[in-house]
Amino acid sequence: MEIIDKKNLEKIKALNNQFVLKVVDEFISLCKPLKVTVITDSQEDIDYVRNRAIELSEETKLSLKGHTVHYDGFFTMSNHDQARDKGNTQVLVPKDEEGSYPWINTMEREKGLKEVLDIMDGCMKGHECVIRFFCLGPKNSKFSILALQLTDSFYVAHSEDLLYRAGYEEFRKLNGSDDFFYFIHSSGELTGKPPVTKNLDKRRIYIDLKEGRVLSVNNQYAGNSLGLKKLALRLAIYKANNEDWLTEHYFIMGVHPKGKNRTSFFCGAFPSACGKTSTAMLPGQTIVGDDIAYLRVWEDGYAHSVNIERGIFGIIKDVNAKNDPVIFDALTTPRETIFSNVLVKDGKPYWIGDGSTIPDGGHNYSGNWNKGKKDKNGRDIPLAHPNARYTIRIEELNNADPNLHKPDGVPVHGIFYGGRDSDTMPPVIESLDWEHGVFLGASIESETTSATLGEEGVRMKQPMANLDFMVVSLGKYIKNHQVFGNRLEHCPKVFATNYFLKNKEGKYLNGILDKLCWVIWAEGRVHNDFNAIKTPIGNIPKYLDLKTLFKQYLDKDYKEEDYIKQFSIRPKKILEKLDRIEAMYKKEKDVPEFFWNIFNNQKNLLINLKNKSDSEEISPLLF
């Protein structure tokens, strides 16, 4: 503790928590920073973080007040620090549990700790370390979990101030308890200006379930470095599924149908880059959260949900005034906002699909950029990375829901599950009951995108859009969902969506804003405003209902021929999907019986349907 001056040490001691002192002492001694600064909930301390990020060139001011830009490390288009690194993200498990989770990377705990702690030895040399305290969820709420963070990146620390609720005073209320998560992060040795992580080959993101902690080193990209985000999601999934609640990869939105004096709250799980944030930010609706939610059974018989965050770390690609007007307005007006890995010219940010005229040159993550620039492997370097991001506070948005910080959360009336599917499922279907909804969520597939490192366009299985973060067996996870829903007096309706259906020529069958009509239809189904057509895979909308909604909400004439193309049932394709789902779940232990009952019933119905028709696409008008 010698490196911490008296003023900062007193801030830690004021918490009266020996476990906090132990963690700080252990990792300050290991990481060996030049200086340690403890950040409380005071505005002075929080301002210090942002100002230091700018002073150190981790962020650079842009023309609009409050806007800054940050760049993550880049060597080539295939070797960079601008997406989640699945390969070097490991869940540390006891030796006897190795191989229990075939869908994620695991490492024997003692081996992993030795490796990562060796790499972290001296990783903060010459850097200032900040000690942060946050609250995952609303303050004074039985939903919430506290989080301690040590990092030497002021960009990371600044991002956390936009994304999470300050928690120093909440730590005081722990009365010495060790019931909190903690996260140690270092960007490691830096190079260049702006300073970026040099040793990407030593990038490690290790999740220690036993200790409720994450150790992350040699990276800056927020998906790898912001422990409180997807890394804390894993810790919370482990905790929730060994208790009696749920941690989910959910947005939370308030749906406000025209002419109805009501608000219905929906959650939704979508893999990265599949329309999750843009759904939560649909025009005319309100947003509680866009990424991670905790759910509990509440006294009123509903599941209640809270957003563990207060901000958005969103993909900026294709955000423009036409398709995402609410987000676009927020990004083009003065407020505290961090852009990452975009092009900057004369203090203005540009990104892929922003609808503007792109300048011929400027500065981006590769340094000075001009059209046609290539990396050393001959690959084109786009003006902005396809996974470029923005970070912004929700409460500063004009569509922020007033229940954002409500300690009791909001009642969940419906749940959406979706993925990137070019040729199989219709744009929206409704489950037949809660257990069928769990089956729909467990059956999500999605084609890979630039949000993770690796090849794009590969069809991956994504149960509840959560497989990347799963740290319990899938059988246990699905069973817990079944039990959770069966405890509810008012069970949410469950819907599966697909915004990415294409025709044989590869053209999307849906407009980007069409999703508003799918959402409004689902809200109407919750309140029995619409009838539906029952099919072997679930309930689908009637044409005339959608025609009315398209006119009312988008002022579009929705043609019957488009409806038929979109909502035709494709038995052959769906049976192929079921074969893939079966192959996955046959490898799992303890998959509950209800799952296989639904699987077999749906498969038999689809086989009968396929045998009755020569067509690969069966019109919804025939049901």
C-alpha–C-alpha distance, residues 445 and 216, integer Å:
29
Tell me what pLDDT residue 457 has: 65
pLDDT for res 453: 56
Domain, as residue range, for 573 = 247-313+403-622
Domain boundary among 203, 228, 243: 243
From CA 165, how far away is CA 508, in angstroms rounded?
39
- Given this model, what pLDDT does residue 95 score? 84
Based on C-alpha coordinates, what's the Rg of the chain?
Answer: 24
**458 and 359 belong to one structural domain:** no
Tell me, yes or no, whether 230 lies in a domain: yes
Instruction: List phi, psi (to 5°) of 488.
Output: -90, 140
Write the DSSP string, 530-590: S--EEETTEEE--HHHHHHHIIIII-----HHHHHHHH-B-HHHHHHHHHHHHHHHTTSSS
**Ranges of H-type helices in 380-514:** 434-442, 474-486
pLDDT at 460: 83
Confidence at residue 454, expressed as pLDDT on a 0 to 100 scale: 61
Can the peptide bond before residue 195 be classed as cis, meaning omega within 30 degrees of 0? no
CA quadruple 562, 564, 566, 567: dihedral positive or negative? Answer: positive
Ranges of residues in the chain whose predicted pLDDT is under 50: none
Among the three residues 221, 243, 265, which one is the final residue of a domain in this structure? 243
Cα–Cα dist 442/437, whole Å? 8
**Same domain for 129 and 260?**
no
73 lies in a domain? no
Which ranges in 179-229 belong to alpha helices (H)? 222-225
Does residue 159 belong to any structural domain of this protein?
A: yes
Q: How far is Cα 481 from Cα 241, in angstroms, rounded to an integer?
A: 9
Q: Is residue 339 part of a domain?
A: yes
Would residue 66 count as lying in a domain? Answer: no
What's the pTM?
A: 0.93
Q: Note the pLDDT tens digit of each residue in 513-567.
A: 999 999 999 999 999 999 999 999 999 999 999 999 999 999 999 999 999 999 9
546 in a structural domain = yes
Q: Is residue 417 part of a domain?
A: yes
pLDDT in tens, 86-106: 899 999 998 887 667 777 889
Do 551 and 595 share a domain, yes or no?
Answer: yes
Question: Into how many domains does the chain fold?
Answer: 3
Residues 232 and 349 in one domain: no
| DSSP state at residue 254 | E
Residue 288 pLDDT: 98
Does 235 lie in the same domain as 364?
no
* Catalytic residue positions, numbered: 274
pLDDT digits (tens, 9 = 90+) for 558-614: 999 999 999 999 999 999 999 999 999 998 889 999 999 999 999 999 999 999 888
Query: CB-based burial of residue 528 (10 Å sphere; 0-12 exposed, 13-18 middle, 19+ buried)?
Result: exposed
Residue 176: which region, alpha, beta or left (left: phi > 0; alpha: psi -120 to 50)? left
Q: Do residues 293 and 267 touch, judged by C-beta distance below 8 A?
A: yes
